[in-house]
């Protein structure tokens, strides 16, 4: 095994662990805001670790750049969707209080 593979394996495994903990947090946490926090933080870190592992295995810098671009776009999408879901949830909880 080359050093690229030695670097990629722990990154990919730790990324999978972050995805698993985010999924467990989604199922176990009691309210919408803590679930959103668990999913967005753990999945963004997990995807970042996966991208780092795959980028170390990639054959060219262009492929690694594309992987990083996908990660950045996924972080932006998670940020916007988390904001929209939490704002909707807050409005619904305010409507239920009336």
Q: What is the DSSP string of 22-75?
A: HHHHHHH-SSHHHHHHHHHHHHHHHHHHHHHHHHHH-SSHHHHHHHHHHHHHHH
* Mean pLDDT for the stretch of residues 62-71: 94
> Using one digit for the tens of pLDDT, what is the confidence trace for 15-62?
999 999 998 988 898 888 888 888 888 889 999 999 999 999 998 999
**pTM listed for this prediction:** 0.84
């Amino acid at each position: 095994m080359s050093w690229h593979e030695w670097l990629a394996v722990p990154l990919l495994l730790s990324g999978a662990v972050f995805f698993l903990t985010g999924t467990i947090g989604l199922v176990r946490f009691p309210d919408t805001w803590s679930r959103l926090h668990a999913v967005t933080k753990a999945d963004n870190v997990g995807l970042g670790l996966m991208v780092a592992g795959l980028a170390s295995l990639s054959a060219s810098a262009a492929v690694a750049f594309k992987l990083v671009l996908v990660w950045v776009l996924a972080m932006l999408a998670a940020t916007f969707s988390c904001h929209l879901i939490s704002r909707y949830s807050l409005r619904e909880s305010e409507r239920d209080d009336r």
